């Protein structure tokens, strides 16, 4: 049986609720963009906040906040079939408790845990590799193109780290952004699809001092390497080239 939901996390948890007692093989997918399959039955899930909350509460009581965040990570991966793997992980968690996270003998759980690891890895990397540029308006702006949808995760980190500044983090790949000022964060509403993928540095321009700091940083970055230890392979291994595009010192 295939359960199709609206693409929100709440919708996904509602689908988990509805699919839970299903005796057949379960698949969960997003409504939009779903390719109908010939022989399997599909149902459209209605997003019901109460249902989602019940699943969330149960999850929290079974595996705590850390365990719960794993479920969120897998969901945010947007990897093919991630919702289905996530569903089976949740089901196993309810049955076996946190032991389920190390049920590597099971293919679906193994896939789920692996996806979680990949998302966590990108999240960890980008906490460091994200670069803010001061725009002419005084706002600090960080564009990036993450493989997974980790904007909600990095937001929490920078909320604490840069609480005294106005900033915006912009996922140019997905066309979504979060803006922060004085302790409040909000999702940015773009006027149209094209604008949502536009790098604001080009639109608004940099602040007066910006180039000076960028130059000093680049220069520092160059001097800090020890000549007799140069090892570009090692450098790339830690700092994958796909992230270089928005990094000050690599441009």
Partner 1 sequence: MELIEKLEILGAAAKFDASCSSSGSDRRGSFGGIGSAYKAGICHSWAADGRCISLLKVLFTNYCINDCAYCINRRSNDVRRAAFTVDELVMLTMNFYKRNYIEGLFLSSGIIKNADFTMEKLISVAKKLRKEENFNGYIHLKVIPGASEILVKEAGLYADRVSVNIELPSEKSLKLLTEKSRESIIKPMTSISCDIIENREERSKTKKLPVFAPAGQTTQLIVGATPDNDRKIVKLTEAFYKKFSMKRVYYSAFVPVNSDNRLPVVSLPPLDREHRLYQADWLMRFYGFKADEIVSEENPFLSEDIDPKAFWAMRNMHLFPLEINSAAFEMILRVPGIGRQSAFRIVSARKNGSLDFDDLKRIGVVLKRARYFITCRGKMMPETVVSEQTVLEAMKSTSTRAGAVDHTFEQLSLF
User: Would you tell me which residues interact with partner 1 (CB under 8 A)?
Assistant: 96, 99-106, 110, 124, 127-134, 140, 142, 157, 160-165, 183, 209, 212-213, 215-217, 219-226, 228-235, 237-239, 247-249
Closest approach of partner 1 to the CB of residue 29, in Å: 25
Residue closest to 149 by CA, chosen among 189, 176, 124, 129: 176
In angstroms, the CA 59 to CA 205 distance is 46
Closest approach of partner 1 to the CB of residue 76, in Å: 20
Rounded to 5°, angle at Cα 46 from 44 and 48? 155
Return the number of the residue (58 or 157) whose C-beta is nearest partner 1: 157
Closest approach of partner 1 to the CB of residue 95, in Å: 11
CB hemisphere CA count around 32 (13 angstroms) = 4
Closest approach of partner 1 to the CB of residue 136, in Å: 15
Closest approach of partner 1 to the CB of residue 234, in Å: 3
Residue closest to 243 by CA, chosen among 115, 172, 146: 146
Return the number of the residue (62 or 247) whose C-beta is nearest partner 1: 247
CB count in 10 Å sphere of residue 171: 20
Return the number of the residue (1 or 214) whose C-beta is nearest partner 1: 214
In angstroms, the CA 152 to CA 157 distance is 9
In angstroms, the CA 154 to CA 174 distance is 15
Return the number of the residue (3 or 246) whose C-beta is nearest partner 1: 246
Return the number of the residue (25 or 229) whose C-beta is nearest partner 1: 229
């Amino acid at each position: 049986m295939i359960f199709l939901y609206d693409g929100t996390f709440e919708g996904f948890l509602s689908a988990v609720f509805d699919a839970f007692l299903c005796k057949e093989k379960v698949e969960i997918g997003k409504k939009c963009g779903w390719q109908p399959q010939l022989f399997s039955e599909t149902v459209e899930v209605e997003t019901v906040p109460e249902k989602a909350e019940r699943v969330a509460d149960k999850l929290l009581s079974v595996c705590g906040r850390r365990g719960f965040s794993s479920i969120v990570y897998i969901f945010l991966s947007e990897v093919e079939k991630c919702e289905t793997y996530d569903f089976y992980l949740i089901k196993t968690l309810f049955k076996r408790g946190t032991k389920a996270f190390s049920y590597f003998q099971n293919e679906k759980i193994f896939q789920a845990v692996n996806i979680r690891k990949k998302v966590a890895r990108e999240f960890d990397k980008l906490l460091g590799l994200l670069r803010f540029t001061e725009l002419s308006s005084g706002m600090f702006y960080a564009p990036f193109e993450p493989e997974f949808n980790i904007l909600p995760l990095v937001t929490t980190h920078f909320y604490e780290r840069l609480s005294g500044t106005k900033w915006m983090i912009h996922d140019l790949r997905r066309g979504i952004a979060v803006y922060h000022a004085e302790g409040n964060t909000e999702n940015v509403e773009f006027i149209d699809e094209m604008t949502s993928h536009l790098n604001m540095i080009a639109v608004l321009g940099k602040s007066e001092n910006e180039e000076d700091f960028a130059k000093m940083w680049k220069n520092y970055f160059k001097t800090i390497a020890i000549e007799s230890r140069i090892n570009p392979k090692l450098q790339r291994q830690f700092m994958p080239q796909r992230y270089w595009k928005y990094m000050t010192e690599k441009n």
